[in-house]
Structure 1
Amino acid sequence: MAPRAAKSFVVVRANRRRQGAADQPCEKRSPWTGSTTLLSTGAGGYAAKHIIRELVVGRARLALAGRNTATIERNIADVAGAERIPIIRCLPENAQSVARKTRLLLNCAGPYIFSGEPIVRACIDTGTHYMDITGETFFIEQIRKKYDEEARRRGVYVVNCCGFDSVPADIGVEHLKAVLGASAEITSVMRLRNTYLNRATYDSLIFGLQNAGEMKRLRNPQRRTGGRRPRKCFYNDKTGSYNVMFMGTDPSVVRRTQEDMQKRGLGCARYEAYLDVGGLSNLLAVAMCFLVVMLLSKFGLGRRILLRYPSLFTCGRVKPDGPSEDVLRKSSFEILFFGHSPESGKRKRMVVSGPDPGYHTTAICISQAALCLLDTLESRGKEGLPCEGGVLTPGSVFHGTDIVTRLHGKGIRFEILSD
């Protein structure tokens, strides 16, 4: 079944925890006609609040969905023209009927391991393209294994990791690779300034650790790009700080992109990702927290403790109701890329930087990815994209598009420097 070309829609889906009795939309709100550009599910969540604002600025034909429409109403109360945005109640039972009337669905409701698969299934069944902001490696691998072949056959784009996980890293590697050559060797070091974790991201991390064993079985026999394993911890003379192996989705997402590029005859860059933790005292503190979390995550009681006291185990970096806008304005990120071409000997550095990663950067990334996909399909059809469907990475889908220009225009900068 081929996806329809005439309609597009993003659904933001509300967080599973936010349920209540007041589910009736405002009487003055525009009714949903089922012919919308973007449908966003999870629209009652804190991250979705920022995503909605980016989509409204992008003038997308937008509708919002979630379990509790009252929380969505509150989330967009100060958005200009909010009364013109349709709001619908979306549950797993009616996900297929909602997806059937849309072209693109953005799923912003985590943890995805609990509620993501029915939405993906509904999108594939109805020929609706799908994007999310997950950083849950187990969910990503599970969806890839179960639905990639069917999504390809139906011509549906299922694109995970369209937020801070892992657009800056994945698109960044492809951008630097275009300068250095197809077989570039690239290392990145992430620096975070005054950043806070999304509660859903923290929950996803805990449940991800619970599924670590199953994760290895899902990945086997997935091969590693390049032969060398990344170092777990070292002092980096280039950054003047201690670096630890990055435990997020970036390495696996970039690896998948590069394997896909290799199949297309576009070369395969080798990539390693690290996190800058600063001085020795910070390194010891991070190591201690990590060991405690790893130990507790192995047991049911330990996981309940971790989920009950997130602020305690993250040194206050998880806020139950999300950080304030004043705090977010002081947050930022920077990813330093160090690239080398074995063939030419050329070396380049690149800096990808932007605002608060968890909310503002994530909102920019997924909104621009959504608009890029829709605009490309509208103007050039699938011939404008390097593939015709499947469970894909951002780098695989947006290779050869103007995604870097779009991100740069919204404040996520890609600056290539000499080494």
Structure 2
Amino acid sequence: MQILADIVMGKGYSFNSGTYQTLILGISEAKNDGLGKIRKAIMPEKLERSKFKPAKRGNLWWNAPLQTNALPFPGADRSVVQRSQYFDAVENKAHPVTVECYMSVASKLNAYLLMAWLVIFSTLVQYEFTRKLLQAYPGFCSGYLFKETGPTRQQAKEASFTYWVFGKGWTEEGANAATATPPTKTVVARCDGPDAGYIATAGCVLSSALTILLDSDKLPHEGGVFTTASAFKNTKIYERLAEHGITFRIDESVHPTL
């Protein structure tokens, strides 16, 4: 399965510098946060994986169905999906999918500039002196992708996002990751919504809160820390998200090559 994020931002749009500061600390502390050990502790079982995996992609590749350039997405999306898959496999005996996450970039020039910035940024955050400079001047150091003010209300209204999900599997009933037959069935789903950074995020938080209150009988009874997919699988979360303009649907007009 491949997930590709396509975020549309108007002229002058910038994210709030709080996200930028989190990014700095996240990268600089990655070697010392013990995240690998934590993941092994909460996901100790080795899952059966399919030998059929998504095609290997380079750092920059052309997504023909969507006519866009794609880069690996550096966020936590893949890790969240993997934990959701682990829960489903352990609790519901489902076969986990293999997932890769990417982001859409309009032009090759922008893609190369973004890659160069990420390399330089990831290097500079490792040293205290340069890290303090990055923290002190978020706008200048990020090419004004991040600013203390964030986007204006009008810029947020004009922004939107689409998450494309390209899946490949089996048409035969009962076929799964253990089968020796290569998957031949493809499907494309999409999630559309308003400004991802603020409007959609607020809608997701409100929808989640209402779901916890109103669908408590459909949540995992033992409680604990769950991903949204694991916690809200049997709830009315999709209907509540739709009320905030966040929708999910199958798109049969796109024909992927996986």
Which bin holds the TM-score, normalised by the shorter protein?
0.7 to 0.9
Distance 2:75 2:63 in 1: 20
Match of 1:364 in 2: 203
Structure 1 SS opposite 2:197: helix
TM-score with structure 2 length normalisation?
0.81
Distance 1:376 1:410 in 2: 18
More off after superposition, 210-219 vs 266-275: 210-219
Moved over 4 A (4+): 219-230
TM-score with structure 1 length normalisation?
0.51
> 1:311 is aligned with what amino acid?
G
Q: 1:411 to 1:220 in 2, by over 3 A?
A: closer
More off after superposition, 345-354 vs 203-212: 345-354
Match of 1:261 in 2: 88
> 1:242 is aligned with what amino acid?
N
Distance 1:328 1:285 in 2: 24
Distance 1:385 1:217 in 2: 27
Deviation, 1:351, is 1.4
Pairing 1:348–2:187 present = yes
Match of 1:403 in 2: 237
Deviation, 1:350, is 1.2
Distance 1:212 1:375 in 2: 37
Pairing 1:291–2:119 present = yes
> 1:375 is aligned with what amino acid?
L
Indicate if the aligned counterparts of 1:386 and 1:399 stay in contact, CA closer than 8 A: no
Q: 1:416 to 1:217 in 2, by over 3 A?
A: closer
Indicate if the aligned counterparts of 1:244 and 1:275 stay in contact, CA closer than 8 A: yes
Distance 1:187 1:361 in 2: 22
Match of 1:133 in 2: none
> 2:98 is aligned with what amino acid?
R
Structure 1 SS opposite 2:32: helix
Distance 2:87 2:64 in 1: 33
Distance 1:220 1:370 in 2: 26
Indicate if the aligned counterparts of 2:189 and 2:248 stay in contact, CA closer than 8 A: yes
> 2:157 is aligned with what amino acid?
R
Distance 1:373 1:346 in 2: 35
Q: 1:250 to 1:243 in 2, by over 3 A?
A: same
Match of 2:74 in 1: 247
Spell out the pairing of 1:9-408 with structure 2 (5 A cutoff).
186-194=1-9, 196-215=14-33, 217-219=36-38, 221=40, 231=57, 232-264=59-91, 265-342=93-170, 344=172, 345-377=184-216, 380=217, 384-408=218-242
Aligned Cα root-mean-square deviation (Å): 2.2
Q: Percent identity?
A: 27
Indicate if the aligned counterparts of 1:387 and 1:397 stay in contact, CA closer than 8 A: no
Structure 1 unmatched runs, 5+: 1-185
Deviation, 1:359, is 0.6
Indicate if the aligned counterparts of 1:296 and 1:303 stay in contact, CA closer than 8 A: yes
Structure 2 SS opposite 1:213: coil
Deviation, 1:220, is 6.2
Aligned length in residues? 229
- Cα deviation, 1:120-159, whole Å, max 9, x if unaligned, reads xxxxxxxxxxxxxxxxxxxxxxxxxxxxxxxxxxxxxxxx
Pairing 1:415–2:233 present = no
**Higher RCO (C-alpha under 8 Å, 6+ residues apart):** 2
Match of 1:161 in 2: none
- Cα deviation, 1:140-182, whole Å, max 9, x if unaligned, reads xxxxxxxxxxxxxxxxxxxxxxxxxxxxxxxxxxxxxxxxxxx
Structure 2 unmatched runs, 5+: 173-183
Distance 1:197 1:288 in 2: 19
Structure 2 SS opposite 1:267: coil
Indicate if the aligned counterparts of 1:368 and 1:406 stay in contact, CA closer than 8 A: yes
Deviation, 1:406, is 1.1
Distance 1:373 1:273 in 2: 28
Q: 1:289 to 1:363 in 2, by over 3 A?
A: same
Distance 1:300 1:236 in 2: 39
Q: 1:388 to 1:278 in 2, by over 3 A?
A: same
Q: 1:314 to 1:266 in 2, by over 3 A?
A: same
